[in-house]
Structure 1
Amino acid sequence: MSKVCTIIAVALSCLVVVALAVPPLNFNNDVTMYFGNHLGQVQDNGNTMALNLDQQTGSGFNTKNEYIFGRFDMQLKLMKGFSAGTVTTFYLTSPIGQAHDEVDFEFLGNATFQPFTVHTNVFSEGKGNREQQFHLWFDPTAEFHTYTILWNSQRIIWMVDNIPIRVFENQESIGVPFPKTKPQRIFCSLWEASAWATQGGNVKVDWSRAPFTAHYKNFVVDACVITNGASSCANNKNKQPWQTYTLDADAKAKLENVQKKNMIYNYCTDTKRFAQGLPPECKPAQEHPSA
């Protein structure tokens, strides 16, 4: 709070913060380990979770609740040093199957002093292959940074420290499936992917450096909860900001800057991979017939 605020202003501001703030989930109460139970360590009275990977197995947790649309914020600190062959994740998914939906943040381990690669993807009706990858512009092992997935009926936005790095728009009007009907849980995990994670699988996990550890904290979920098949937002007359969020001019400029300077792979430019033609959402709007 600014020192120039009056006592009344401070009091009013505090009331607003209390009224609007969404408390973090508690790792003791709101999530459950789904593999590697003994390698998940809840710390700081439930505010922090440490996931570990050893030569036997990795570890992971997921939310007990399911959600349909929302804003999901996680502070994450990746492991220091040589982490090649490992993958640290923060993602949404419906039950895995032929037609599942999924929205991914995956952090690919690196050789010492190499930049970390952030891998993003989106699946709808079981169709993925929509990868974009970025190099982070900071050291994600030095301190915690906030990673956000904002998902509403119009678009999905991936953010790093509130800076948008990717947007996937709802383009059902041109036949592109969009995840909007299947409830999803949030999953986080740390696991081995030596076959592909680092430099295309050329650099493997060095088990002499195990166990590997990633830390998660301040897990904030502002979303529509699914209970007995019904959404908590079904009769929501006062919509939350994320429900209608779109990028303003400043956010669009930041997005363009990150994509220009930090993007290292974009499926929408991979003409070798899509030799028969790029996916429809990759084409300029003027190439699409009127909806």
Structure 2
Amino acid sequence: MDRRSKEFLLGLLYCCWIYGVSGSIVKKAAAAPKVVRGLTQNLKTLPFEEGYMTLFGENNVNVSPDGKSVKLLLDRHTGSGVTSQDLYKYGFFSASIKLPEDYTAGIVTAFYTSNADNFEHNHDELDFEFLGNIRGKEWRVQTNLYGNGSTSFGREERYQLWFDPTEDFHQYSILWTEEHIIFFVDDIPIREVIKSESMGAQYPSKPMSVYATIWDGSEWATAGGRYKVNYKYGPFAMELTNLCLHGCAVDPTMIEHGSSDAHSHCGEEDEKVPREVGQLSEEEKAAMEWFRSRYIYYSYCDDRARYPSQLDECPGRDPAKPIATAHMRFGRHHHRHHRKRGKQNPHAASSSATADVSA
């Protein structure tokens, strides 16, 4: 190759690099659509002590003096977690969360609902999971759901975000009703799961508690376990505020023997909020399409390796759509739940049968 050809090739590579970097920046800096309703701005929040209690890692759970926020720490000794004082039969659950910064490989933080303590072999679950990464790479966000112990059937979706979740607080919310489930980020709906006949008992329907946890997931969380938690950068902090628990509380004594037919007790607002939140406006539907067209990079619905046949609950597959399955790794149950105070478990977080999609 002569000198002129080499210069041309180097120039071309440089232009491609500039285009790629600028394209990435533009995508990252894209302004989110304005959602007129502002779901969480006008909702009642509650102090930590009124709605939550320590799950594990008591010394790593730091509640602010005014009780409005809580910091969960992960150090080389243990992670930490909190859980709601009540179980709920449907509701709207939300928290404003700030994630650890810098090198966070191997770290798992989660905001989720579950009833694994009460229904060990047929539990339900709704997950926001945040998976850390090496320096210079973004946190990955995953949503998932299980019903009636269906942990072998993963319904994972993975996303990038249009902001840096370590720079400031952002609101993450889960709506769960008898008809559908919606995951929100900063009041933008990012995923809706509508109850269908094909899902049957795999649609979550039993009372659940709300959890927030941070823990060491080195075995699987980043690149299938290639990158571990490095505690020289610790302790790592997950911060939560603007805590919302609007749902129909259930008397735990009614389900202590595994009965799913417990009666719930709803105040007027706790009944009203989930019903109104679930009525998406046209602007919110457009915002969800905006998000899903830009930031979703894995969906179980498109994974032909896991599910060769089209699933009835999923929309039709696009044959031209690339599927990120090359680095898939499916874990077993990485973690367990412990509601009772004083019973600590460094691996308490959301259940798994988790798909690991390296990015």
Contact 2:148 2:201 in 1 (8 A): no
Aligned twin of 2:243: 219
Aligned twin of 1:116: 139
Contact 1:75 1:218 in 2 (8 A): yes
Pairing 1:58-207 to 2, within 5 Å after superposition: 58-96=79-117, 97-128=120-151, 129-172=154-197, 175=200, 177-180=202-205, 182-207=206-231
Where is the strand percentage greater, Structure 1 or Structure 2?
1
Aligned twin of 1:272: 305
Distance 2:116 2:199 in 1: 26
Please tell me the residue identity of whatever aligns with 2:160.
H
Report the secondary structure of 1:257's partner residue: helix
Distance 1:28 1:211 in 2: 24
Distance 1:265 1:91 in 2: 20
Contact 1:62 1:185 in 2 (8 A): yes
Change (3 A) 1:241 1:138: same
Aligned twin of 2:24: none
Please tell me the residue identity of whatever aligns with 1:151.
W
Distance 1:76 1:236 in 2: 27
Contact 1:176 1:280 in 2 (8 A): no
Aligned twin of 1:261: 294
Matched, 1:232 2:265: yes
Contact 1:176 1:281 in 2 (8 A): no
Distance 1:261 1:23 in 2: 32
Distance 2:200 2:146 in 1: 14
Aligned twin of 1:243: 275
Distance 1:90 1:202 in 2: 24
Distance 2:75 2:64 in 1: 19
1:34 deviation in Å? 1.5
Please tell me the residue identity of whatever aligns with 1:267.
Y
Moved more, 166-175 or 30-39: 166-175
Matched, 1:42 2:74: no
**Runs of 5+ unmatched residues, structure 1:** 1-19, 285-291
1:226 deviation in Å? 1.2
Aligned twin of 1:210: 234
1:189 deviation in Å? 0.3
Report the secondary structure of 1:28's partner residue: helix
Please tell me the residue identity of whatever aligns with 2:234.
A
Please tell me the residue identity of whatever aligns with 1:101.
D
Percent identity over paired residues = 35
Structure number with larger C-alpha Rg: 2
Report the secondary structure of 1:250's partner residue: helix
Change (3 A) 1:216 1:71: same
1:262 deviation in Å? 0.6
TM-score under structure 1 normalisation?
A: 0.84
Contact 2:91 2:270 in 1 (8 A): no
* Number of matched pairs: 263
Distance 2:52 2:133 in 1: 28
Change (3 A) 1:52 1:249: same
TM-align CA RMSD: 2.3
